[in-house]
A = this chain, B = another copy of it.
Amino acid sequence: MIRVVVADDQTLVRSGFALILGAEPGIEVVAEAVDGAGALAAARHHLPDVVLMDIRMPGMDGIEATRHITSSPITAGVRVLVLTTFAADDYVVAALRAGASGFVLKDTEPADLVRAVEVVAAGEALLAPEVTRRMLDRFARAEKAVLTLPPLTQREHEVLVAVALGLSNLEIADRLVVSYSTVKTHVSHLLTKLEARDRAQLVMLAHRAGLGG
């Protein structure tokens, strides 16, 4: 039996979801909440499998409540399924950062809502297709932003990584088991190839290229 808490400030919406879920044989709605604080309290008290959380609520909003639930050891294991009307980017990202396990739109078919609850209760995550598309776009854009480095030799690449870690030439020499002079040669080549002036710019470029975390 999947135990669910439904949190939404709009009575009609909340009742509707509770009815839909309650009608399902394997699902039981153990509590309802009208704001974030209530949702948090219900989560702590009932320790449900899933909290169906609206984002826009008076007082503590759904994002904040989600953050508390997912970060508190007391409510560890309680999954949050976020509900919203629009798939606005800011909401999605904020909800994901807050630790939400799912993101579904309010115009979802009842059957899909039930399925989403079941999936999330099983420990999986699920996003509405529109939301997934937006996330993938973000992913793609984030990846395109990285700097592409000119072709570097194997050794130069290793030295660049070491430089990006903040190591001195002497430390790099020790790390790669070569002489101090050799390291300086490689660094000098890197400065030329990457059109950098000093190792500080080298560190910057390496990080922008995704080499240093």
Interface residues of A (CB under 8 A from B): 96-97, 99-101, 119, 122-127, 129-130, 132-133, 135-136, 139-140, 143, 145, 163-166, 168, 196-205, 207-208, 212-213
Contacts and interface: CB of A to CB of B under 8 A. Distances in A.
A166 B201 contact: yes
Report which residue of A100, A123, A130, A133 has the largest number of chain B beta carbons within 10 angstroms of its beta carbon.
A133
B197 A208 contact: no
B124 A133 contact: yes
B197 A166 contact: yes
18 contacts: A97-B139, A97-B143, A100-B136, A122-B129, A124-B129, A125-B129, A125-B132, A125-B135, A127-B132, A132-B132, A163-B200, A165-B204, A166-B203, A166-B205, A199-B200, A200-B202, A203-B203, A204-B207
Nearest to A119: B129
A51 to B, nearest CB: 16
Contacts of A123: 133
A145 B213 contact: yes
A119 to B, nearest CB: 5
Contact of A124 (B101, B132, B204): B132
Closest 10 CB pairs of A and B: A124-B129, A166-B201, A125-B133, A125-B132, A203-B203, A207-B207, A166-B204, A199-B200, A200-B203, A125-B136
A164 B204 contact: yes
A194 to B, nearest CB: 11
Nearest to A134: B125
Given A139-B97, A140-B97, A207-B207, A200 B166 contact: yes
Nearest to A207: B207
Contacts of A164: 204
A124 to B, nearest CB: 3
Contacts of A165: 204
A24 B40 CA distance: 45
A204 B211 CA distance: 11
